[in-house]
Amino acid sequence: MEILDYLFEKSKPPVDEGDMPAEASILADYDAIRALLTFTHWNGEPRQLSSLRITYQKPDWVATLVDTDNERSLSATGKCVATAIESLNKYLLERVGRWYYWPSKKTQAGNGKYGTLSRQSGARTKSRGTSK
C-alpha cells in the first residue's frame, strides 16, 4: 500500500535536523555539538544555528560553543583541538558545563551588571511561549 505510506509520511511533523552537511572528519562523534551547529528546527520550531569557535590561549586550545538562540556560550579547554571539542561535547551531554549568559539590553541599560556565569540546566533566557 504505497499510497498509505505516502499519506502517513505527509502527516508527520518536520524532522528535527538541518540540511547542512556535517563535517565528518572532526565532529563525527560529537552529536550534541553537530546538532546545535546544523539543526535549523527543534521540536518543530525554527531556531538560530549555533557556532563553534576554536582559539588558542597558551598553553591550551579553547572550544567555544556560541548558542545565539539562547543568548549564551559555553567553553572547554584542552591540550589539543580534539580534546577541547571532546570536553565541550561532554559538558553538553552531562549538563555539567557552566554557561555564560549574555547581558540583556535591559540589564546593561538599567544597572550596568553583566550576564551570569551559570543557570540551572535547561533554563531559557528568553520566553517564546513554550517551555523546553
Does a structural domain hold residue 32? yes
Tally of structural domains, the chain: 1
Does a structural domain hold residue 132? no
Does a structural domain hold residue 127? no
pLDDT of residue 10: 55
Most confident of 19-23, 32-36, 112-116: 32-36
DSSP state, residue 131: -
Range of the domain at 80: 2-111
- Number of CB atoms found within 10 A of residue 60's CB: 14
pLDDT of residue 43: 82
Q: Using 50, 70 and 90 to split pLDDT, how confident is the model at 29? A: confident
Is the pLDDT confidence value at 93 over 70? yes
Q: How far apart are CA 65 and CA 75, in angstroms?
A: 6
pLDDT of residue 11: 55
